[in-house]
Structure formats: C-alpha cells, structure tokens
C-alpha cells in the first residue's frame, strides 16, 4: 500500500523559519521531519509514498534523493499552483495503484498505530477513515463528531469557540478507498476537510479511528519547539539505541562546558569555554556558542551563532542568524535566516524576519 504525503503548504504559521526551510524538512533532533514521516508510514506496513508538493519542492526532492530509504519508493507530484488538501491527492493519482491508500498531512508527528487504523478501516464499509486525536483547543483543527460505532456525524473545519462540541479532532492521517479520488474535481483547488469529508459524511461512508498515542501538528513555533523537546526526550520516534547526549564527534567542546541532556549537536559545532547547552536543545550543522553563553530548550538551525555571554531560552534561531554578545533571546522568539540580535539587546516573544524579505503586516503569529 502507498501513501500520499501532503507537503504543498507554505507553512505560513511557522514563518520566518519556512521562508528558507519547507515545514516538511524542519529538523527534530537534527533529522528532517520527513525522516520521522517515512518511519511512521513504514510502521504501518506501507511500501512507498507520493509527495504532493508545491512550495520549495526542490529542497524536498533533494532531501529524498540523498536518503537510502531501503526499498521505500518515492514519487513526486508537483503542483503549478496550490490545489488544496484534496486537489493535492488527486494530482498524485497517476502514481497510485488503484487500491486502498493512506493520506497524511505532512506536518503531523505521531506514534499512532497506523496498521491498526488500516485494519479498522477495512472492517467497515467506509470510503474513508479519519484518525482522531484529543486536543485541548479544537479551534485550530477539524472537529469531528462520531457516534458509538465510530461513524462520523459531523466534520467541521476550524470551529469557532461556541461550536466546540467535542475535543476529538482530525489527526491528519486518513485511509481512503480509490472511489474518493473520483469525488475530487481535477485541476482546481479542493479542500478535503471542507468539501470531501462533509460529502462522505452525508453519504454515511465516513468513519473514524481514535488514537490516544502521541500526536502533534508541528506547524507553529510553539508546537515545533514542543515537538523538538519531545523528540529529544525520547517521547516519540525513539529507537533502542536512543542517545540523550547525541553529540557529533567533530564537536569542539571548550573547558567547563556543561552539556545537559537531552541535547543533540550536529557536525562541526563549536562550544566555547564555560558555555551551557542543555534543557532539550538541538544545534544544527556548524553552530557556534561563545564563552559562558547559555542555550536552553531551543533549536539552533545550521550555522547559527550565539556569542559570548548571550542567553537563548525557548526560542528558534534561524540558519546563520546571530545572537550578539550578552544579548538575550527568550519566550518563543524566532529569528529568521541571517537575522541579528545586537550586542546586549533583549528579544522577548519577538520575531525577526530575514533581511530582505517583505512581510505584510499581521502575517506573522504564534
């Protein structure tokens, strides 16, 4: 069985990180997100996937070209313009085998039992089975009302507060019969959540499978940092040989450096005397942390630099960005690629956008 992985979105809620890195490739414990996705699909017994792409497709294709996927086959369906979450599946049709398929949102990190979801789907006359997870605030998701037989009675994308009738939401992992492809008009933007699921529900052919396993949509700075912490802590995706101190042997570590697990440090990093790295941090390729600097619960992307005496807490530092001498960056701040927080400055809950990128007002948010 094959999957369609939807990775055509622009990742607007994870800007400015996603100006340079598609959401599909943001690293968790220094492994691009798609690595976890392939492991997840394999865990469900799938043998290949079609990547439904639109935004920054070259980077995603280059990533897969560099991987040895041990027989897991990959095809690419690239959109000329965004076709939406159902249009993206339709566009992948030529690479599917005409049988039952799995579809996943390409920004969902989960430990759910995919094999069991497929099994449950096959035990019903469903044309589609949506997996569900329980969240505190369903307003950012697709709310799903089910009955005692797991038949879906209502699918409501992004409900308003006064429409919340359940905490169960669409987990972004579906099992679909090929008939669903016939319901999707070709060559126009179609939303599976707003158009196809309500239609399947009306036909009484939409079922649900509830999972209580780990689940997170990594699409905002807050949830990306939380997912990074969880992966570093071994809460999801951990294998038998999991290392809490995942430090590349090339790392240059100065005197009196504190590395507090869990941390992940990629190739070519330099940690100077007296610096502290810990509390669930990951440092990408060639990052530099200066003397007595502190990095805690943060993600430093490739080539980021934290100068002497600076403090970075609970924040995302973009590729080649720099936190100046003695500066403080905290409170879920995000620095875009190449941004600089000057010497001694404080950035608290702030966003700095890459030099040269025009950002329309109010287009950035947590």
Residue 92, both tokens: 């992948």
Is residue 217 a contact residue for ligand GDD (CB under 6 A)? yes
| Min separation Cβ 290 and ligand GDD, Å | 36
Interatomic CA distance for residues 224 and 218, integer angstroms: 4
- CA–CA distance, 25 with 5 (Å, rounded to integer): 13
CB atoms under 10 Å from CB of 302, counted, come to: 20
* Interacting positions 194-223 with Mg ion (CB under 5 A): 217, 219
Q: What is d(CA 112, CA 174) in angstroms, rounded to the nearest whole number? A: 12
Q: Is 157 in the site for ligand GDD (CB under 6 A)?
A: yes
CB of 134 to ligand GDD, least distance (A): 12
- Give the span between the Cα atoms of 350 and 108, in whole angstroms: 25
Work out whether 9 is an interface residue with ligand GDD (CB under 6 A): yes
315 binds, among ligand GDD, Mg ion, none (CB under 5 to 8 A by kind): none
Subset of residues 136 to 155 that bind ligand GDD, contact rule: CB under 6 A:
141-142
Give least dist CB 269 to ligand GDD, A: 30
Position 129 contacts ligand GDD (CB under 6 A): no
The alpha helices in 177-242, defined as continuous H runs, are 179-182, 197-202, 221-232
Binding mask 35-74 for ligand GDD (x = CB under 6 A): -----------------x-x--------------------
**159: contact with ligand GDD by CB under 6 A:** no
Shortest reach from residue 170's CB to ligand GDD, in Å: 4
228 part of the interface to ligand GDD, by CB under 6 A = no
For position 88 contacting ligand GDD by CB under 6 A, the verdict is: yes
> Pick from 18, 105, 131, 223: which binds ligand GDD (CB under 6 A)?
105
Where do we find the tokens 């996927």? Answer: 69
Tokens 């016939």 correspond to 182
Minimum distance from CB of 91 to ligand GDD (Å)? 7
Binder of ligand GDD out of 17, 96, 108, 310 (CB under 6 A): 108
User: Phi and psi for 306 in degrees, rounded to 5?
Assistant: -120, 115
Query: Is residue 44 within 8 Å of 78, Cβ to Cβ?
Result: no
Residue in 16, 57, 84, 309 binding ligand GDD, rule: CB under 6 A = 84
Q: Is the dihedral of CA 233, 106, 113, 32 positive or negative?
A: negative
279 binds, among Mg ion, ligand GDD, none (CB under 5 to 8 A by kind): none
Q: How many residues bind ligand GDD (CB under 6 A)?
A: 25
Integer Cα distance of 76 and 260 in angstroms: 40
C-alpha 228: how far from chain center = 10
226: helix, coil or strand?
helix
- Cα gap 286→284, rounded to integer Å: 6
Inter-CA distances, 44 with 97, 177, 227, 234, 306, Å: 17, 17, 21, 20, 41
Residue 195 as a binder of ligand GDD (CB under 6 A): the answer is: no
Residue 193 engages ligand GDD in binding (rule: CB under 6 A): yes
Site for Mg ion in 95-114 (CB under 5 A): 107
Interface contacts to ligand GDD, rule CB under 6 A: 6-9, 52, 54, 79, 82-85, 88, 105-108, 141-142, 157, 169-170, 172, 193, 217, 219
């Amino acid at each position: 069985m094959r999957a369609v992985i939807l990775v055509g979105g622009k990742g607007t809620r994870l800007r400015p990180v996603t100006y340079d890195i598609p959401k599909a490739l943001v690293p968790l414990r220094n492994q691009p997100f798609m690595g976890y996705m392939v492991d997840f699909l394999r865990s469900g017994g799938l043998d290949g996937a079609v990547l439904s792409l639109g935004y920054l497709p070259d980077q995603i294709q280059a990533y897969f070209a560099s991987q040895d996927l041990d027989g897991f086959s990959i095809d690419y369906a690239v959109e000329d313009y965004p076709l939406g979450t159902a249009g993206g599946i339709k566009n992948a049709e030529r690479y599917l085998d005409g049988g039952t398929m799995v579809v996943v949102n390409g920004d969902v990190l989960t430990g759910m039992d995919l094999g069991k979801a497929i099994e449950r789907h096959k035990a019903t006359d469903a044309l589609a089975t949506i997996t569900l997870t329980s969240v505190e605030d369903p307003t950012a998701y697709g709310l799903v009302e089910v009955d005692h037989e797991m038949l879906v009675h209502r699918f409501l994308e992004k409900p308003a507060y006064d429409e919340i009738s359940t905490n169960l939401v669409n987990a972004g992992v579906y099992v679909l019969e090929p008939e669903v492809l016939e319901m999707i008009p070709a060559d126009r933007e179609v939303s599976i959540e707003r158009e196809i699921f309500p239609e399947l529900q009306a036909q009484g052919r939409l079922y649900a499978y509830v999972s209580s396993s780990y689940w997170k949509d990594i699409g905002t700075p807050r949830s990306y940092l939380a997912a990074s912490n969880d992966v570093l802590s071994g809460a999801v995706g951990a294998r038998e040989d999991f290392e809490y101190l995942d430090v590349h042997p090339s790392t240059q570590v100065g005197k009196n450096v504190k590395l507090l697990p869990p941390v992940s440090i990629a190739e070519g990093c330099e940690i100077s005397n007296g610096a502290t790295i810990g509390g669930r941090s990951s440092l990408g390729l060639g990052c530099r942390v200066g003397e007595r600097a502190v990095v805690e619960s943060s993600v430093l992307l490739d080539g980021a630099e934290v100068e002497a005496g600076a403090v970075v807490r609970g924040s995302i530092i973009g590729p080649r960005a720099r936190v100046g001498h003695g500066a403080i960056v905290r409170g879920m701040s995000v620095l875009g690629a190449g941004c600089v927080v000057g010497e001694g400055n404080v950035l608290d809950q702030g966003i700095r956008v890459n030099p040269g990128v025009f950002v329309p007002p109010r287009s950035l948010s947590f």
